[in-house]
């Protein structure tokens, strides 16, 4: 295989490596029924992000994606975060996403949630 064809093949595979393989059956919908809340909480003097999610709707949810808006010195930065609830999030469930060992601290002055999307379990 020539170096040119290896380079071309790597560019074709790059989106798959960056974004992972997605199931064609995943249907992300804007969520009116699932609410995500974020708080900056201090533990041992260090600021960490605490994320709550609650299902007010009638659908059972298997995945949740949300916009995390971090504000520092008046500048807002938006990132997408996605998680799978440990159990299916059934209607009227409220949970906290557990913090992982070694999780980074929050550098932002303020945190908020923007749009929320879900994958409903059918």
Nearest to 27 by CA among 88, 117, 87, 114: 117
Which of the pair, 81 or 88, is modelled with greater confidence?
81
Q: Give Cα 88 to chain centroid, integer Å.
A: 16
- What's the pLDDT tens digit per position in 13-35? 444 444 445 555 688 989 878 89
Instruction: Specify the pTM.
Output: 0.71
Distance, CA of 20 to CA of 64 (rounded, Å): 17
pLDDT at 65: 95
User: Tokens for 108?
Assistant: 């932002």
Inside any domain, residue 92: yes
Inside any domain, residue 79: yes
The total number of structural domains that make up the chain: 1
Confidence of residue 4 (pLDDT cuts 50, 70, 90): very low
Inside any domain, residue 7: no
Q: Which domain holds residue 96?
A: 23-120
pLDDT at 12: 43
Inside any domain, residue 55: yes
CATH number at residue 53: 2.60.40
Inside any domain, residue 60: yes
């Amino acid at each position: 295989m020539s170096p040119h064809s290896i380079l071309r093949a790597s560019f074709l595979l790059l989106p798959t490596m960056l974004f992972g393989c997605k199931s064609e059956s995943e249907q992300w919908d804007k969520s009116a029924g699932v609410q995500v809340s974020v708080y900056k909480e201090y533990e041992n003097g260090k600021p960490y992000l605490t994320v709550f999610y609650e299902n007010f709707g009638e659908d059972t949810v298997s995945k949740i994606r949300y916009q995390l808006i971090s504000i520092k010195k008046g500048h807002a930065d938006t990132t997408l975060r996605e998680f799978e609830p440990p159990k299916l999030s059934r209607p009227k469930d409220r949970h906290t996403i557990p913090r992982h060992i070694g999780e980074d601290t929050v550098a932002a002055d303020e945190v908020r949630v923007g749009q929320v999307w879900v994958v409903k379990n059918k």
